[in-house]
Structure 1
Amino acid sequence: MGAEGWESIESADELREVLGAPKPAALAKERRTLHELDRAWLAASPFCLIATSDADGNCDVSPKGDPPGFTLVLDDSTIAVPERPGNRRADGFHNILRNPHVGLIYFVPGRGDTLRVNGRARLVREAPFFDRMVVKGHRPSLAIVVEIEQIFHHCSKAFLRSELWRPESWNPQVVPSRARIAQALERQGEPIEELERYYGPAYAEGIYR
């Protein structure tokens, strides 16, 4: 891809020239420990995104979801996220083994603001608190334990611009179904009827197996 006509930003001074200085409140909101309002947010959140990178800077973002309150608060500066059955690629886990720095964003459906957590993670394969993370009979195979280094709430402008939570803006049929995407990209040659059955209503029945 050509870059003719582009004006790149190469320094922090150039970046500030474009964006301006952050407001004092935006800088002052960073904390290192959980407030009771953070705990309430985690108790209400059923979904988060976890960003990781390896030692060379190669990045990954992984979604994690469970019933509200799935992230367990261990103390004022430590949280734990359970792992559930998935595709077993474990890209983010391999990153954590090489570089413990992680970033998480917690969502509450219908809310534009989010809770952001940055910290250092480790993988735990067994601990007494796993008994508190059982869902539908499934005890997590491992957990990501995060020592919080930075936590703050983020504004809703991106959600307002995107109209993400406005049902009237939703159009899930605008792109092909998951079955058709799978057939085109990673499960080529498999009959579309079989893939539609696999990704159909029965798919949800096996998410904890």
Structure 2
Amino acid sequence: MTGYTEIKDESELRELIDHPSPAVRRKQLDCLDAHARAWISRSPFCLLATADAEGRCDVSPRGDVAGFTHVVDDRALAIPDRPGNRRLDSFRNILDNPHAGLLFMIPGVQETLRVNGRARLIKDAPFMDAMAVRGRRPLLALLLDVEEVYFHCAKAFKRSGLWDVSGWPDRGELPTFGSILKDQLRLDQPAAVLDEHISATEARELY
């Protein structure tokens, strides 16, 4: 492709965007303080970022009842694995490359909490039983050894209006998941049948 002016190094980048303020640098911690712990305890949702050994990236959603993330201590946290699509993209990446990032969100709150560190997959730990839901103990959990912790400002959420209900689209204007799968997988079943099956499977396999 032509017509692009590509930035090649950080010096070029800094010609466009100045260095962060000292306060922005200082807000980065190397452990979970009281504010981070309180945030995590109230967060029902986070995004998990990983990359494989060759740098190919993946971002995966993780969610459950607020407080589902277990804070082991000020330098470690654990996220239980719940039933999903069994692709294991994030987990296979972690086996190749342990560096991982988490972005914790709270509905209606425009700030977020970023936690970066080195991840491990564990199948047993003293806190695993406490992660059981409906009598089902998770088969494994992601244990993150914390290296960086910092709160992110609300600008992206303010610009996007993400939590402004008045700006939310009408769900009916978007294709259903069944419609998307029908087209992408070239399935014969009607989209309505696929949507019904997806809904029933999700309800049955949440835990």
TM-score bracket for the superposition, by shorter chain length: over 0.9
Instruction: Verify: 1:195 aligned to 2:205, yes or no.
Output: no
- TM superposition shift of 1:33: 0.9
Runs of 4+ in 1 over 6 A off after TM superposition: none
In structure 2, C-alpha distance between the alignment counterparts of 1:102 and 1:129, rounded to whole Å: 21
Alpha carbons 1:136, 1:208 under 8 Å: kept = no
Letter in 1 for 2:92: H
Letter in 2 for 1:193: A
1:20-169 equivalences in 2 (<5 Å): 20-169=18-167
- TM superposition shift of 1:203: 4.4
What's the counterpart of residue 186 of structure 1?
A: 185
What's the counterpart of residue 175 of structure 1?
A: 174
In structure 1, C-alpha distance between the alignment counterparts of 2:71 and 2:119, rounded to whole Å: 14
In structure 2, C-alpha distance between the alignment counterparts of 1:132 and 1:156, rounded to whole Å: 33
- TM superposition shift of 1:192: 2.0
Q: Deviations over 1:84-134 (max 9, x none)?
A: 000000011000000000010000000110000000000001222111111
Alpha carbons 1:100, 1:120 under 8 Å: kept = yes
Q: State the identity as a percent.
A: 46
- TM superposition shift of 1:154: 0.3
SS at match of 1:188: coil
TM-score by length of 2: 0.95
Q: Deviations over 1:47-83 (max 9, x none)?
A: 0000000110011111000000000000110000000
What's the counterpart of residue 2 of structure 2?
A: 3
Letter in 2 for 1:188: L
- TM superposition shift of 1:179: 1.1
Give 2:203's match in structure 1, choosing from 186, 202, 205.
205
SS at match of 2:128: helix
- TM superposition shift of 1:19: 1.2
Q: Deviations over 1:26-46 (max 9, x none)?
A: 111111111111110000000
How much is the aligned-residue C-alpha RMSD, in angstroms? 1.3
SS at match of 2:203: helix
SS at match of 2:109: coil
Q: Deviations over 1:150-200 (max 9, x none)?
A: 000000100000000001111133321111011111362233232021133
SS at match of 2:6: coil
Alpha carbons 1:104, 1:117 under 8 Å: kept = yes
